[in-house]
């Protein structure tokens, strides 16, 4: 397998220690855990999504581990503005704060709280099970453009995380680009559900949730591939990546970097594990393989 040249990279306005980023939501809202992941080899970390008001989240069960995947409906639990002090000690580190809101104004307000602390902002326009938030806005290209513009005009690197739960993801990618996105992240979880045959009830308290992990990797590759043909901004691939080979495949589809989420549950040292096989002193520059499957 091809290997990459090690070293820092700047993607979507954020300088990362390598191409591997911790995906949003995975280690909750604890600054110390995010810092631990940076020290354990993550090139950057994305926080849990932070919103305009504190939120408890959905009624449980909120998360089930399936064969090879995870189904969740956490419901955006977060401490809102109190999170600023939680990550103050991480200022100057590659910490990207994920935020959500119900309007462009709410996105701008939450983003402003993190000026000076966050290396960048990732807009969650893609949670599949949050009424009035996430994909409720992220499936409408006009709203995607206006929410993106409300944050990009603040001058902070602005990443937009897209939902795969649309007919044409390129229309959403182009809408983010029009709003001044510095990068797009593809994809958030795939809307899904399971039913307990014993209980004759949906397994999740919220009935519907988002599927992540290995089962969605081919969907994520397809989305990145389509976006690469339609958009000019860098694409960050996300969805079911768990090996160095997955990273290379995502890059060949068009990703400039990747985010890793569910695989952290199985192996908390996943960043070191992937780094060992992905990078070597005689590796090629990433530009040599990004999008090469389109040639
Ligand atoms: O908190 C959640 O339930 C959640 C979020 Br914010 C998201 O973006 N994606 C997801 O699968 N769950």
Q: What is the pLDDT of residues 6-45, one digit of tens each?
A: 999 999 999 999 999 999 998 878 999 999 999 999 999 9
What would the pLDDT profile of 46-63 be if each residue is shown by its tens digit?
999 999 999 999 999 999
The protein residue with its alpha carbon nearest to ligand 1, atom 5, reads 127
Check residue 253 and report its DSSP letter: H
Q: Is 127 a catalytic residue?
A: yes
Can you tell me whether residue 51 is helix, strand or coil?
A: coil
Which two tokens mark 251? 């890059």
The protein residue with its alpha carbon nearest to ligand 1, atom 10, reads 127
Return d(Cα 107, Cα 91) in angstroms, integer: 20
Predicted confidence (pLDDT) at residue 295 exceeds the cutoff of 90: no
Query: Which residue matches tokens 């809102």?
Result: 80
Ligand 1 pocket test: which of 127, 139, 159 has the largest number of ligand atoms within 8 Å of its C-beta? Answer: 127
Check residue 13 and report its DSSP letter: T
Provide the residue ranges of all domains of the chain, joining segments of one domain with +: 9-294
Superfamily of domain 9-294: Aldolase class I (3.20.20.70)
Supply the pTM of this predicted model: 0.98
20 strand-pairing partners: 258
Query: Which residue matches tokens 């008001």?
Result: 53
In this structure, the strands spanning 183-186 and 95-99 are unpaired
Residue 243, Cβ density class (10 Å: 0-12 exposed, 13-18 middle, ≥19 buried): middle
- Ligand 1 pocket (Cβ < 6 Å) reads 25, 49, 72-76, 124, 126-127, 134, 188-189, 210
What would the pLDDT profile of 141-184 be if each residue is shown by its tens digit?
999 999 999 999 999 999 999 999 999 999 999 999 999 999 99
């Amino acid at each position: 397998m091809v290997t990459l040249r090690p070293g820092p990279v700047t993607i979507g306005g954020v300088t990362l220690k390598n191409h591997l980023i911790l995906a949003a939501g995975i280690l909750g809202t604890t600054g110390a855990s995010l810092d631990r992941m940076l020290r354990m080899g993550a090139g950057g970390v994305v926080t849990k999504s932070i919103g305009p008001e504190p939120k408890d989240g959905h009624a449980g069960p909120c998360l089930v581990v399936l064969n090879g995947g995870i189904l969740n409906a956490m419901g955006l639990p977060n401490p809102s503005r109190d999170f600023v002090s939680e990550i103050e000690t991480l200022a100057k580190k590659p910490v990207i704060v994920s935020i959500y809101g119900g309007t462009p104004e709410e996105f701008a307000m939450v983003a402003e709280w993190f000026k000076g602390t966050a290396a960048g902002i990732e807009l969650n326009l893609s949670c599949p099970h949050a009424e009035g938030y996430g994909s409720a806005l992220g499936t409408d290209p006009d709203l995607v453009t206006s929410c993106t513009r409300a944050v990009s005009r603040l001058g902070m690197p602005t990443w937009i995380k897209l939902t795969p739960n649309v007919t044409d993801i390129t229309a959403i990618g182009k809408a983010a680009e029009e709003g001044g996105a510095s990068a797009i992240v593809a994809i958030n979880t795939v809307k899904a559900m399971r039913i307990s045959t014993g209980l004759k009830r949906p397994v999740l308290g919220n009935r519907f949730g988002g599927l992540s992990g290995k089962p969605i990797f081919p969907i994520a590759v397809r989305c990145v591939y389509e976006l690469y043909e339609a958009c000019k901004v860098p694409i960050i691939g996300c969805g079911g990546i768990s090996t160095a080979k997955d990273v290379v495949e995502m890059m060949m589809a068009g990703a400039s970097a990747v985010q890793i989420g569910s695989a952290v549950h199985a192996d908390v040292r996943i960043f070191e594990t992937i780094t060992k096989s992905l990078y070597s002193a005689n590796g090629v520059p990433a530009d040599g393989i990004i999008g090469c499957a389109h040639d």
